[in-house]
Amino acid sequence: MPLMALGILALLAGLWGGLLRLGWPLPPLGTSIAGFHGPLMVSGFLGTVIGMERAVALGARWGFAAPLLTGLGALVLVAGVPGAIGPLLMTAGSATVCGIFVCILRRQWAVFTVVMAAGAAAWLAGQLLWLFACPSTGSCSGGRALSS
């Protein structure tokens, strides 16, 4: 249940940030909650929920590190902690999901597992871009993860 609570927190905060981006007159939850709408929805909510589902499918306790890391990363973003802690936690969670898929592919090599593994790899690539490309270009919403 605590992992699900982190996913729900990310969903609600991401929705709040999305509504702020649409111009709804809501009080801001934090200084950059609107800028973190995408990461909260993709990594915080979907990463936590899908990571939990994949950890259950794997059947290994270490797999639950994935939803824990993404959920904690979302919590850090919502709390407004500066710096790269939130993005680093979310990136570590996506890397853990990739590790889960390596194990799943060893068990069941099928088109659907390959497609899901490719999606996990794309998610990790996006997280790495958020960490490393955004600080140099300054073009990512949410700001400069590693330089803050």
Tell me the pLDDT tens digit for each residue of 37-75. Answer: 888 899 999 999 999 999 999 989 999 999 999 999 999
Query: What are the distances in angstroms from CA 78 to CA 34, 75, 130?
Result: 10, 5, 17
Higher pLDDT, 56 or 142: 56
Q: Rounded to an integer, what is the distance from CA 98 to the centroid of its chain?
A: 13
Q: Which residues contact 47 (CB under 8 A, 6 or more apart)?
A: 66, 67, 70, 90, 93, 94, 97, 123
Q: Give 63's Cβ-side CA count (13 Å radius).
A: 21
d(CA 31, CA 34): 8
pLDDT tens digits, one per residue of 12-41: 888 888 888 888 888 777 667 888 888 889
Higher pLDDT, 112 or 14: 112
Q: Given pLDDT bands bounded at 50, 70 and 90, which one contains residue 148?
A: very low
Q: Which residues contact 69 (CB under 8 A, 6 or more apart)?
A: 89, 90, 92, 93, 96
The residue extents of the domains of the chain are 2-137
Q: Which token pair is 47? A: 């990463």
pLDDT > 90 in the chain, percent: 51
Q: Given pLDDT bands bounded at 50, 70 and 90, which one contains residue 134?
A: low
Q: Given pLDDT bands bounded at 50, 70 and 90, which one contains residue 146?
A: very low
pLDDT given for residue 31 in this prediction: 64
Angle between helices 47-58 and 65-79 (to 10 degrees): 160
**Is 143's pLDDT higher than 60?**
no
Higher pLDDT, 143 or 134: 134
